[in-house]
Amino acid sequence: MRLIGLDPGLRATGWGVVDAVDNRLSHVADGVVRTDESLDLAGRLVELHDGLCDVIVRYRPQEAAVEETFVNKNPGSTLKLGHARGITLLAPARAGLPVAEYPPNLIKKTVVGAGHAGKQQIQMMVRVLLPGCAIATPDAADALAVAICHAHHRETAARLAVAEAAP
């Protein structure tokens, strides 16, 4: 199963693609979609949408996962992040992918073992869990962490569904 994780941001949205086979994960690709800060909001959202659509077409994931938004102290920043997050939900959904959402603390707890882990810890554990991957940026590392989190939680949900269906 090929999965894409997305870490929304208006300036830079991280993306990470992994293949999940049974309990094994392998790195496929990662990167960032950047927007031109000189454009108005609508123009930047179009750039973000088009960039994510290109990544989805190129790597053909079967499912997507997006980090939920946390509330910043600055309401304007939170609102802009919300716009970018909307695009990160829209692009894979329009491509026909199921889209899961995970809160930041669950992603960190799944990948690192602590819900308040720092970016350095996330990057280190992503490298441990996906040997040989050269992470493009911290945003890409966060996106890979989202994909890893989804791989673990979707597998658990599938096993529970099978167990509940058994006579």
Q: Is the pLDDT assigned to residue 64 strictly greater than 80?
A: yes
Whether the pLDDT of residue 160 is over 80: the answer is no
Which pLDDT tens digit goes with each residue over 5-50?
999 999 999 999 999 998 899 999 999 999 999 999 999 999 999 9
The residue among 162 and 9 whose pLDDT is bigger is 9
Instruction: Give the CATH H-level superfamily of domain 2-165.
Output: Ribonuclease H-like superfamily/Ribonuclease H (3.30.420.10)
40 as an active site residue: the answer is: no
**Residue from 47, 63, 139, 142 carrying the catalytic annotation:** 139
Question: Residue 3 and residue 130: Cα distance in Å, rounded?
Answer: 14
Catalytic residue among 30, 47, 63, 67: 67
How would you class 166 by CB atoms within 10 Å of its CB: exposed for 0-12, middle for 13-18, buried for 19 or more? Answer: exposed
pLDDT of residue 163: 80
**DSSP assignment, residue 70?**
P
- Please compute the mean of the pLDDT values over residues 158-162 and round it to a whole number: 73
pLDDT of residue 75: 81
Q: What is the pLDDT of residue 97?
A: 98
Residue partners of 39: CB distance under 8 A and separation at least 6:
47
Nearest to 145 by CA among 165, 163, 116, 124: 124
In the chain, what are the domain boundaries? 2-165
The residue-averaged pLDDT of 107-129 equals 87
CB contact at 8 A, 19 and 28? yes
As a whole number, mean pLDDT of residues 117-126 equals 87
Catalytic residue among 7, 30, 63, 142: 7
54 noted as active-site residue: no
What average pLDDT does the structure give for the chain?
91
**Alpha helix segments (H runs only) across 2-132:** 41-59, 75-94, 104-111, 119-129
State yes or no: is 36 an active-site residue: no
pLDDT at 116: 77
CA-based nearest residue to 108, from 123, 92, 122 = 122
Task: State the average pLDDT over residues 65-77.
Answer: 81
Mean pLDDT of 88-117: 92
Q: What phi and psi values does residue 17 have, to the nearest 5 degrees? A: -115, 130
Residue 71 scores a pLDDT above 70: no
Cα–Cα distance measured from residue 150 to residue 141, given in angstroms and rounded to the nearest whole number: 14
